[in-house]
Amino acid sequence: EVQLVESGGGLVQPGGSLRLSCAASGFTFSSYSMNWLRQAPGKGLEWVSYISSSSSSINYADSVKGRFTISRDNAKNSLYLQMNSLRDEDTAVYYCARPRMGSMDVWGQGTTVTVSS
């Protein structure tokens, strides 16, 4: 079964850091680019970051550029999101998802990040 499982969410103070992980299984992880997306409470979906299969191409939404870093370890079938200088507005459910033909065909269940003092 194709599956993505996020972890690492939690409560963090403004200005703090958090590292999210996404474990992939059921497909050849190293052959696929990957995305992080988020959804603030009661709000819509926002794409956060993209990484190509070999990590040679990376992109970020303007809202997180300079604060978040995406990475992957193909040997461990894992995707990561290092989040620094967190702000209240970063509070959201964070999803990893597999892009395919311009859409995202596989999503994790999400991990919740709450930024609050």
Partner 1 sequence: EIVLTQSPGTLSLSPGERATLSCRASQSLSSSYLAWYQQKPGQAPRLLIYGASSRATGIPDRFSGSGSGTDFTLTISRLEPEDFAVYYCQQYGSSSWTFGQGTKVEIK
Q: Which residues bind partner 1 (CB under 8 A)?
A: 35, 37, 44-47, 50, 57, 59, 61, 95, 99-105, 107-110
Among residues 77 and 112, whose Cβ is nearest to partner 1? Answer: 112
Minimum CB separation from partner 1 for residue 90, in Å?
A: 18
Q: Could you give the CA distance from residue 80 to residue 102 in angstroms, rounded to a whole number?
A: 21
CA of residue 58 relative to chain centroid, distance: 13
Minimum CB separation from partner 1 for residue 24, in Å?
A: 15
Minimum CB separation from partner 1 for residue 16, in Å?
A: 26
Among residues 96 and 115, whose Cβ is nearest to partner 1? Answer: 96
Among residues 14 and 89, whose Cβ is nearest to partner 1? Answer: 89
Beta-strand runs (E) in the chain:
3-7, 10-12, 18-25, 34-39, 45-51, 58-60, 68-73, 78-83, 92-100, 103-107, 111-115
Contact between 93 and 38 (Cβ < 8 Å):
yes
